[in-house]
C-alpha cells in the first residue's frame, strides 16, 4: 500500500551539520532526508518534509497534513518541552505522530526530560542520532499496519 509520511522538523534543526555536532552529529537535515526518502521508497512510502523555526508555521503544517498524510515523524526541537499549541494541534488533528529526537532527551538537562507532546503522540523515539528518523519511520509503518 502506498503511503505518505510527513517529516516535520522544528527550530534549529536547519542547523544540523554544524550545530553542536558532538550531540547531533555531522549530517545535515538534507542528508538525513535524502537517505530517509530512499529508505522509504523501498516500502512504497513517499516522504514530504517541512522545517520551520516558527511555532505557528508548524501548527499550520499539521493542520494541512490532516487528511492528506498517513502519519507524521515530528522532531519538535525545543518546542517539545513547552508548546501547548503544538500539543493541541496534534490532538486536534488526530494525526498519528511519532515524536522523534536525535539525542536522548532523558540523559540531558532536566528541562529536556519533559515532553508536553508525548502524551498525544503514538510513540517516542530518542537517542539514536540520525537513525532515530529511520526507527520512527519503521515504527510508524508498523503502527499504521
Ligand atoms: C532535539 C532535543 C531538544 O531538546 C532540542 O531542543 C533540539 C533537538 C533532538 O533532536 O535531540 O532542538 O529535539
In the numeric block, which cell numbers belong to residue 121? 503522540
Residues designated catalytic: 24, 101
For residue 41, give the nearest of 143, 139, 144, 134 by alpha carbon.
134
40-89: per-residue pLDDT in tens? 999 999 999 999 999 999 999 999 999 999 999 999 999 999 999 999 99
pLDDT tens column, 83-106: 999 999 999 999 999 999 999 999
Whether pTM > 0.75 for this model: the answer is yes
Give 92 Cα–ligand 1 centroid separation in angstroms: 23
Measured in angstroms, how far is the CA atom of residue 93 from the centroid of ligand 1? 23
Tell which atom from ligand 1 comes closest to the C-alpha of 108: 4
Which atom, in ligand 1's list, is nearest to the CA of 126?
11
Ligand 1: residues whose CB is within 6 Å? 12, 75, 77-78, 80, 101-103, 105, 112
Q: CA angle 109-110-112, nearest 5°? A: 75
74: which strand partners? 8, 99
Q: How far is CA 112 from CA 32, 62, 78, 108, 121, in A?
A: 23, 23, 8, 7, 17
Amino acid at each position: 500500500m502506498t503511503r505518505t509520511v510527513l517529516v516535520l522538523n522544528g527550530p534549529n534543526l536547519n542547523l544540523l551539520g554544524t550545530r553542536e555536532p558532538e550531540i547531533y552529529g555531522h549530517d545535515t537535515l538534507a542528508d538525513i532526508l535524502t537517505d530517509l526518502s530512499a529508505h522509504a521508497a523501498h516500502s512504497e512510502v513517499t516522504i514530504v518534509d517541512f522545517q520551520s523555526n516558527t511555532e505557528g508555521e508548524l501548527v499550520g503544517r499539521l493542520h494541512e497534513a490532516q487528511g492528506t498524510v498517513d502519519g507524521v515523524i515530528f522532531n519538535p526541537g525545543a518546542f517539545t518541552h513547552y508548546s501547548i499549541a503544538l500539543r493541541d494541534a496534534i490532538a486536534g488533528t488526530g494525526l498519528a505522530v511519532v515524536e522523534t529526537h536525535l539525542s536522548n532527551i532523558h540523559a540531558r538537562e532536566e528541562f529536556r526530560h519533559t515532553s508536553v507532546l508525548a502524551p498525544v503522540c503514538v510513540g517516542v523515539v530518542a537517542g539514536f542520532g540520525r537513525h532515530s528518523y529511520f526507527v520512527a519511520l519503521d515504527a510508524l509503518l508498523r503502527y499504521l499496519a
